[in-house]
Amino acid sequence: MTRLTRKLPTLTALQTFESAARLRSFKEAADELGVTPGAVSHQIKALEAQLGQKLFIRQHRGVQLSAQGTELHVTVEAAFNNIAVTVGRIQSSGSDMQVTVGATSAVSSLWLSPAILRFWREHDDTAVNQLVSDTRFTGIDPPELYIRYGRDPRSGLDQRVLYRDTLVPVCAPSLASRLGRLSLQQLAAQRLVHMETDDANWTTWHSWFQTLGHEGPLNTGIRVNNYTIALAAAEDGAGVVLGWKRLVGPLLERGSLAVLGDHSINAPNRFHLISLPEQQLSPAARQLREWLLINL
């Protein structure tokens, strides 16, 4: 056993953690993994003991990730997805009925993964591999399909509009209830969760407020460089985050987040489904692309 593997948690513990983190429920994770809720709880407690950190905040109705849990989930999810891509390529070697689709961690967990599960119910003979990355898919070997906010500036790609979202402030329901309807000036004084990214397409709090005509100062709040972590911070009551309303719809529906007030703007850019040129797409990629365009 290498020095690296001696430091790693067991695969069972990581699989259990990933399922519980994605579903925000020990019971649902147990159902997915085919074990008891007690077994899930035991694995999570052992993992927390090994790391010396609380990964979940236990609540009456499910669980929420702590800051450390969110950080670990982003890494574990990306690692598992990369492993799945490689395994899928090996298993499907020589077969046209496989496709890799890329997305950011937030788009993958909130939107793409549930969509792929629905796709599989109709096309169980097609292997779909997910490549999760919060940087742009600009390498020499990009996935056949990927989802991007805004157009890809490179030429020769097939770029289909999925939808245009609405940008609204979102936060923990308890905070939304306490604050009620705020003026733009009052909202600007709240603790804001700022996203730091080199993606020029990303809409920041500053540009959101400017679009609505507010030129005053903004609360410096907290800064993160990953949208999944930004959403988790808002869920924990750490502040108000700028929410892509349709994208975070699952979090709004299950009550993890709530829209704060009634200020909103249309997102400057649209979400696009981007693919290699038609002649370079496999039959599986064409099948998934058309299904996504119809069903999303």
Q: How high does pLDDT run on average in the chain?
A: 87
Q: How confident is the model at residue 281 (pLDDT cuts 50, 70, 90)?
A: confident
Average pLDDT over residues 182-200: 90
pTM of the model: 0.67
> Among 82-86, 160-164, 201-205, 231-235, whose mean pLDDT is lowest?
82-86
- C-alpha to C-alpha distance for 79 and 114, rounded to whole angstroms: 19
- C-alpha to C-alpha distance for 79 and 184, rounded to whole angstroms: 40
Q: What is the pLDDT of residues 93-117, one digit of tens each?
A: 555 578 989 998 889 888 898 899 8
- The per-residue pLDDT for 90 is 62
**Beta pairing, strands 265-275 & 240-244:** unpaired
Q: How confident is the model at residue 225 (pLDDT cuts 50, 70, 90)?
A: confident
pLDDT higher for 235 or 141?
235
- C-alpha to C-alpha distance for 247 and 115, rounded to whole angstroms: 12
- The per-residue pLDDT for 1 is 46
Residue type at position 132: V
